[in-house]
Structure 1
Amino acid sequence: MRFICFLLLLFCLLGCGYHFPGQSGTLPGGVEKIYIPLFINKTSEPLLENKLTSRVSEVFSRHSKISQVEKQETAEAILQGTIRSYSSRALSYNSDDDIGEYRATMVVDVVLKTEAEEPLWTGTVRWSEDYNSSSNKNAQNDMEQSAIDEMTVRMAEEILYKLLDDF
């Protein structure tokens, strides 16, 4: 009886069109060759554009149906991003009313467009990452940078998933 219920559940999931993110495998417009220039950083946080662009490039390079090209002229489309905001705010306080945890949040606008400036896809990605507080300023900065590193990885993956599936 359990086996039959399991099979029915499996058939329902398969029949409803459910699939894992990024499974469709193709970019909008059937694009395969993309150029990824350095993202624009409109925040006061330095080097975010370098970290995020690098992560996006890494994530896209792992996809078998997408080729990154080094020259814009050889690309079928250009993936441009603008880091619209970055903030780090207190999330929780301890019993001494000192900050115990922070939440870093980044918002990025992304557009995939043809060389003729025709947008194939536009979207916004937002991600937050929590990190602990420290009375040592160097340790505090290291924890924030680790949170930014994790956030850029997750955002790069989210950009790819949204492009492939347009969720």
Structure 2
Amino acid sequence: MSNTEVKFHSMHHTNSPKASFNRNIPDSNTSGRSITYIIVFLLLSLPFSLSGCYSYSFTGTSIPEGVNSIYIPFFADQSTSGIGDLSDQLNQALIDRFVNQTKLNLANSRADADAVLEGQITNYTNRPFSVTSDEETDRNQVTITVRATYLYTDAEEPEWNQQFSGSATYDPNEDPIEGEENAATQALEQVVNNMFNDAVSDW
């Protein structure tokens, strides 16, 4: 019985330092949660730290502070496209991209706007793109070129003044009229996207 008691006290004496040592080790789960909270806080506070320079649209595009409206006058068709509503399509696509997909408001005049996007359709071509072995055209390509200027109304010089082009092909043997119109619409979409991307690069 005496030996048993000595063994019991020896084991108790050996385990006590371990228990004390474990109490001093931080809980890995608690430490991990703390790091996670810090990271989340930093990510959430980042937009506020930049808010003095930019505002944010729902599409994630940052807009310079103080730029709340844009004026997009009618883009006249100076080409020989033969498509009556080409200018209307371009203007509507520009409004949809610059206004409906950002937080910018559409201004009714240059005087009421913080930014202005203006220009004209300068060239339109519809040419054979590929031919068959019998030398018959199986694809036509529509190419549209637009000259545009983007500026801020409080600046002396425009941000840019340049040409933008877009192209699309269609099968002239299926439905040549509708095919050309669809290709023209796709070409205009390319032009609008390129103009928007160039404007965003300045934001």
- SS of 1:26's equivalent in the other structure is strand
Give per-residue Cα distances to partners, 1:14-63, cap 9 Å, x unaligned.
xxxxxxxx966236x96331110110221011332111111111111233
Amino acid at match of 1:94: T
Partner of 2:171: 132
In structure 2, the CA distance between the partners of 1:59 and 1:24, relative to structure 1 (3 Å rule), is closer
Task: Name the residue aligned to 1:43.
Answer: 79
Alignment partner of 1:53 is 2:120: no
Q: Percent identity?
A: 23
In the other structure, the counterpart of 2:48 is none
Residue 197 of structure 2 is aligned to residue 161 of structure 1: yes
- The structure whose RCO (Cα within 8 Å, separation 6+) is larger is 1
Matched, 1:110 2:148: yes
23 and 127 in structure 1: CA distance in 2 versus 1, 3 angstrom threshold: farther
Measure how far apart 1:82 and its partner are. 1.6
Q: Match of 2:12?
A: none
The structure whose residues are more often helix, as a share, is: 2
2:181 is the alignment partner of 1:145: yes
What letter corresponds to residue 87 of structure 1 in structure 2? T
Instruction: Kindly indicate whether residue 116 of structure 2 is the aligned counterpart of residue 78 of structure 1.
Output: yes
Normalised to the residue count of structure 1, the TM-score between the two structures is 0.73
**CA distance in 2 between partners of 1:30 and 1:110 (Å):** 23
- Structure 2 unaligned residues grouped into runs of 5+: 1-58
* CA-CA distance at 1:115 after TM superposition: 4.6
Instruction: Quote the Cα distance in structure 1 between the aligned partners of 2:168 and 2:112.
Output: 36
User: Structure 2 vs 1, CA of residues 23 and 108 (structure 1 numbering), >3 Å: closer, same or farther?
Assistant: farther
Report the TM-score when normalising by structure 2.
0.61
Residues paired across the two proteins, number: 141
The structure with more radius of gyration: 2
Q: Provide the C-alpha distance between the structure 2 equivalents of 1:101 and 1:57, rounded to a whole number of angstroms.
A: 31
> Aligned partner of 2:171: which letter?
N
Shift of 1:98: 1.4
Q: Which runs of 5+ in 1 are unaligned?
A: 1-21
| 8 Å contact from structure 1 (residues 24, 165) kept in 2 | no
2:167 and 2:190 in contact (8 A); partners too? no
Q: 1:93 aligns with which of 128, 131, 137?
A: 131
Counterpart of 1:156, as a letter, is V
